[in-house]
Structure 1
Amino acid sequence: MSTPQDINVRQKPAVAATGGGTSTILATKQLTKNFGGLTAVDGVDFSVAEGEIRCLIGPNGAGKSTLLELITGQLAPSDGAIYFDGEDLTGLDTHKRIDTGISVKFQSPHVYENLTVEENLRVPLQRTDRDVDRVLAETLDRTALSEKAETGASELSHGEKQRLEIGMAVTLDPKLMLLDEPVAGMSVDETDDVADLIRSLHDDGMTFVVVEHDMEFVRRISERVTVLNQGEIFRQGPIEEIEADEDVRRIYLGENA
């Protein structure tokens, strides 16, 4: 059994990397995930500043979604560590990571089709002590779903379901929101709605890590971009620098340098 001294020693790197004395809220150290002989994430040192919108891009199979699943606890790392807001998340269960202030929305909508929009939003609120009526009203307004509050989730469009699931995550008032291809399969108007929603939440101080292929969407929301390739960080920087990088265009945008 771990002693308090052991726990303090184990948490020191987390505090140093993401504690109150730093601007960093999320960091991974030499994070690695092997699937048999395949290394999907290979010694990744990745950090995100509090209040930032960071986009993760890269070709298919680069390790983007695997990295998100490691951060959320859906997958256990083969090696390395995950630190968030001064805590070591590496061995924590997924639900305990949510309690630290992380929410996630995966690529395919995971809403309760047999419930109404409002009932869906009430589900995550069961684990909080927040003012339910106030949070519901605010979230319905933010996600532009007020007029659909009593509509069954099964009757929503694809874009509305995506906004609903983001709303479900928002009800928990997270410090960090992880989004995996939030505008996949959306129309231009639906994509614009999600971009506006993310920017609005960001203006209120929420931090985002967004995996996305739609470069126009990335341009609209991102302050800084990380490019993954073959499980490693290939480049990082402002979107203008990333798009101007010939090597990035070659591996990701399919252009000849």
Structure 2
Amino acid sequence: MATSDPTVKTAPAVDETGPDSSRILQTRGLRKAFGGLTATDDVDFALEAGELRCLIGPNGAGKSTFLDLLTGRLEPTAGKIYYDGADITGLPSHERVDRGISMKFQVPSVYEGLTVAGNLRIPLQRVVEPDAFDARTREILERFDLLAERETVAGELSHGQQQRLEIGMAMAMEPNLLLLDEPVAGLSVEETADIADLLREIADDDGVAVIVIEHDIDFVETIADRVTVLDGGSIFREGSIEEIRTDPEVKRIYLGEDR
């Protein structure tokens, strides 16, 4: 979308992700250095609207740093981030949220002293009128199988329930782009399957673009439209899960297999 904010340069961003493009996100030459360590190096990454993309790679590949650059938690050393027709490279995190970017972090960051409904009220205040709180809260709780825990203090939920609550909180913001860092870490097989179904529904039915960092290659195979492999802060490979699974170099760096 176009913006009147004079700090946002729209011309190249519209070319990359504007109304004439199917892309919602494009990074160009994105780089982040911490002193002598380059965590993200010259990343050109494109994401289609409604696409579910998984990011994989060995530890230290730059996956979480990349998401932190997208959310504005980190400022890039170089490069550009184009989103939905605008250059958001210099925007603070809260303005990116207002533009439709929402994130769930690796460790659940729910408000443990509040009820489940109270947790949802926090993001809903940004997007819903007060008289619609109850109806929207119920809708989200039903969708994420948490209605029975509505008045439960979030700190008393199981790990899997906290993961679902945090995804629900992220979706309460009505995003166009949802970023998830290891959403099934520590979950049972059944809970993992439930999250997989939710994420496919979010992408397919809601049309939300989703980026998922994940180590579980079987989970990736279940959900991903495409897979991006990061190594040493750079994009190493991109393709379908079938292409990635059979690539001998990916097996070597990520799966720990010999050629």
TM-score of the pair, normalised by structure 1: 0.96
Bigger shift: residues 186-195 or 225-234: 186-195
Q: Aligned partners of 2:96, 2:7: CA distance in 1, in Å? A: 19
Equivalent pair of 2:39/2:61 in contact (CA under 8 Å) = yes
When residues 96 and 239 of structure 1 are mapped into structure 2, their CA distance, relative to the original with a 3 A threshold, is: same
Match of 2:255 in 1: 253
Task: Report matched runs for 1:1-257 at 5 Å.
Answer: 7=6, 10-130=9-129, 131-204=132-205, 205-257=207-259
When residues 242 and 95 of structure 1 are mapped into structure 2, their CA distance, relative to the original with a 3 A threshold, is: same
Equivalent pair of 2:29/2:43 in contact (CA under 8 Å) = yes
Q: Aligned partners of 2:158, 2:201: CA distance in 1, in Å? A: 22
Q: Aligned partners of 1:17, 1:186: CA distance in 2, in Å? A: 37
When residues 5 and 245 of structure 1 are mapped into structure 2, their CA distance, relative to the original with a 3 A threshold, is: same
When residues 119 and 227 of structure 1 are mapped into structure 2, their CA distance, relative to the original with a 3 A threshold, is: same
Post-superposition shift, 1:193?
1.3
Q: Aligned partners of 2:190, 2:171: CA distance in 1, in Å? A: 21
Q: Aligned partners of 1:192, 1:65: CA distance in 2, in Å? A: 23
Bigger shift: residues 196-205 or 172-181: 196-205
Unaligned runs of 5+ in 2: none
Residue identity matched to 1:94: S
Post-superposition shift, 1:8?
9.1
Post-superposition shift, 1:129?
2.9
Q: Aligned partners of 2:4, 2:226: CA distance in 1, in Å? A: 38
- Counterpart of 2:254 in 1: which secondary structure? helix
Post-superposition shift, 1:186?
1.1
When residues 250 and 116 of structure 1 are mapped into structure 2, their CA distance, relative to the original with a 3 A threshold, is: same
Q: Aligned partners of 2:24, 2:210: CA distance in 1, in Å? A: 11
Q: Aligned partners of 1:43, 1:207: CA distance in 2, in Å? A: 22
Bigger shift: residues 63-72 or 188-197: 188-197
When residues 35 and 109 of structure 1 are mapped into structure 2, their CA distance, relative to the original with a 3 A threshold, is: same
Q: Deviations over 1:179-224 (max 9, x none)?
A: 0011111111111111111111112211100010011110111010
Q: Aligned partners of 1:5, 1:183: CA distance in 2, in Å? A: 39
Post-superposition shift, 1:126?
1.1
When residues 34 and 132 of structure 1 are mapped into structure 2, their CA distance, relative to the original with a 3 A threshold, is: same
Q: Aligned partners of 1:139, 1:5: CA distance in 2, in Å? A: 33
Q: How many residues align?
A: 254
- Counterpart of 1:114 in 2: which secondary structure? coil
Q: Deviations over 1:65-84 (max 9, x none)?
A: 00000000000000001010
TM-score of the pair, normalised by structure 2: 0.95
When residues 148 and 30 of structure 1 are mapped into structure 2, their CA distance, relative to the original with a 3 A threshold, is: same
- Counterpart of 2:220 in 1: which secondary structure? helix
Residue identity matched to 1:137: R
Q: Aligned partners of 2:195, 2:57: CA distance in 1, in Å? A: 21
Post-superposition shift, 1:11?
1.5
Residue identity matched to 2:201: S
